[in-house]
Amino acid sequence: MNKLVNPNKQSWLELTQRPVADISELKNIVNQIFEEIKKDGDEAVKKYNRIYDKVELDSLAVNEEEITNASKKVSEELKGAIQLAKSNIEKFHASQRESLKIVETVKGVSCWRESRAIEKVGIYIPGGTAPLFSTVLMLGVPAKLAGCKEVILCTPPNKNGEINHVILYAADLVGITSVFRVGGIQAIGAMTFGTKSIPKVDKIFGPGNQYVTAAKQEAQNIGVAIDLPAGPSELLIIADKTCSPSFVAADLLSQAEHGKDSQVVLLSDDDNVIDQVLLEFEQQLKSLPRKEIAQQALENSKAIVLPNLKECIDFSNLYAPEHLILAGNNFKPLIPEITNAGSVFIGNYSCESAGDYASGTNHTLPTNGYARNYSGVSLDSFVKKITFQELTKEGIQNIGPSIELMAEAEQLFAHKNAVTLRLKSF
């Protein structure tokens, strides 16, 4: 982890840059696989399952018996933890429902907005060394609360064609409609175009590696919506002298272990705090099962000393982190100054892991600086907002003349006539 002391502000923008991967080859791979899936459907999906996951499948769909058997393999203790997390996620996301508000803009003109669920959504859940069953909760719970009619899930199988049993348990718990054993680019392609087995969806959600991310971007170009731009995980921590260095080190490592392309950043107004955290860091790293992954992530990571906490907040806003931890007891006065962050964790006991699993907030968040202009996934991500208006005779009389003038000024005389005919009918 590279340490810098009081870098000048002219260098800040460069310091906020994430590692950039060359995706030109990725795009070619995505386009090739997409074209084959569009043409050959399930057969193309199975072909790329053989190539990438080394598995030969008769059926892409997971059946009820497999889901029932998977549930039996999950310990009661873990089931209880998952159910607690689901309950908290439901409470937080249910609170985001909007009540109907009818606004009379002038006498006789009423306007309002109503939510309608996106009918078909697809959820992608990575498998491999870290099967993210928690993401099943984060995406499945708000999808069901929103009222999505069809919620399908794609996740890669192991070499025996099996899906992680905890992923299947979580999918069943939240009410996922169908589960398919397919991962990577081919999963995104199948949900984009639809195949005989896998339905075409209206919007795709979920994290993934660079291949999945590139595939989601291409799906969006084709006309299927995606949740948000997302790349490698990232965490920025601002720590002052009231922090616990061991807690801070643990939080940094919790994010670094996601993947070698993850990035963590530590800011402080106290040089001694940085040194204490880095010492803790080295000690804790030794005992991590995923220490090699974390170590690679740390090569792209930074520890920066800045003159004061206000400048730390300014740097963080420029960086726009996916996760922001304010480690210490003195941050509440500075909270209004935070303008760019996916999710914020306040105080020494608010570890980022809480948001990843069970506090109730959503862990599907914008990365790579997109927190400047994107929000994390919420109930709103699964609905469309439709506006309504109703004009009475009095209403069209009140605003009709203004509409006529504006339409004529834009030389749109059919627009004007639609009003004029109504006004003359009285």
Could you give the residue numbers annotated as active site? 322-323
Please state, in angstroms and rounded to a whole number, the distance separating the CA atoms of residues 169 and 62. Answer: 12
Task: Kindly report the number of other CB atoms within 10 A of residue 172's CB atom.
Answer: 17
269 neighbors 239 (Cβ within 8 angstroms):
no
- Residue 90 is encoded by which pair of tokens? 């439901």
Q: How far is CA 368 from CA 72, 90, 215, 371, in A?
A: 39, 28, 17, 8
End-to-end CA distance of the chain: 76
Please state, in angstroms and rounded to a whole number, the distance separating the CA atoms of residues 188 and 34. Answer: 9
Q: How far is CA 227 from CA 27, 121, 366, in A?
A: 20, 10, 9
Query: Which helix (DSSP H) or strand (DSSP E) does residue 14 occupy?
Result: helix 12-15
217 neighbors 27 (Cβ within 8 angstroms):
no
79 φ, ψ (degrees, to nearest 5): -60, -40
205 neighbors 107 (Cβ within 8 angstroms):
no
- Paired with 151 in beta bridges are 121
Please state, in angstroms and rounded to a whole number, the distance separating the CA atoms of residues 401 and 398. Answer: 7
280 neighbors 246 (Cβ within 8 angstroms):
yes
Please state, in angstroms and rounded to a whole number, the distance separating the CA atoms of residues 271 and 11. Answer: 19
247 neighbors 352 (Cβ within 8 angstroms):
no
Please state, in angstroms and rounded to a whole number, the distance separating the CA atoms of residues 228 and 375. Answer: 8
